[in-house]
Amino acid sequence: MSSARIPLIAGNWKMHETIAEAEQLIAALLPALSTVSGVDVAICPPFLALQAMVESTRGSRVQVYAQNMHHAPEGAYTGEVAAPMLTEVGVHGVLLGHSERREMFGESDRELAQKLPVALDAGLTPVLCVGETEDERERGDTERKLRHQVQEDLAHVPDDQLGDLVIAYEPIWAIGTGQVATPEQAEEAIGFIRALVADRAPEQAERTRLLYGGSVNPDNAAELLALPDVDGALVGGASLDATSFAAIVAAG
Ligand code: PGA
Q: What is the pLDDT of residues 218-245, one digit of tens each?
A: 999 999 999 999 999 999 999 999 999 9
Q: What does the chain come to in residues?
A: 252
Q: What is the pLDDT of residues 28-77, one digit of tens each?
A: 999 999 989 999 999 999 999 999 999 999 999 999 999 999 999 999 99
With a 6 A CB cut-off, is 193 part of the ligand 1 pocket? no
Do 232 and 7 meet the contact criterion of CB atoms below 8 Å apart? yes
What pLDDT does 4 receive? 80
* Range 148-162 average pLDDT: 98
Closest CA to 125 of 232, 49, 28, 37: 232
C-alpha 36 – ligand 1 centre gap (Å): 22
* Range 187-207 average pLDDT: 97
Q: Output the residue whose Cα is nearest ligand 1's atom 9.
A: 236
User: Has residue 2 got a pLDDT over 90?
Assistant: no
Mean predicted lDDT score pLDDT of the chain: 97
Query: How is the chain split into domains, by residue range?
Result: 20-71+83-98+106-251
| CA of 217, closest atom in ligand 1 | 3
**Helix 142-153 vs helix 109-121: angle between axes, to the nearest 10 degrees?**
50
What pLDDT does 3 receive? 59
Q: Output the residue whose Cα is nearest ligand 1's atom 7.
A: 236
* Range 97-109 average pLDDT: 98
With a 6 A CB cut-off, is 218 part of the ligand 1 pocket? no
Rounded to whole angstroms, the Cα distance separating 211 from 127 reads 9
Q: Domain 20-71+83-98+106-251: which topology? A: TIM Barrel (3.20.20)
Strands 62-66 and 93-96, by their bridges, are parallel
Cβ-in-10-Å burial (0-12, 13-18, 19+) of 4 comes to exposed
Closest CA to 39 of 229, 167, 231, 169: 231
C-alpha 6 – ligand 1 centre gap (Å): 21
C-alpha 239 – ligand 1 centre gap (Å): 9
User: Has residue 1 got a pLDDT over 80?
Assistant: no
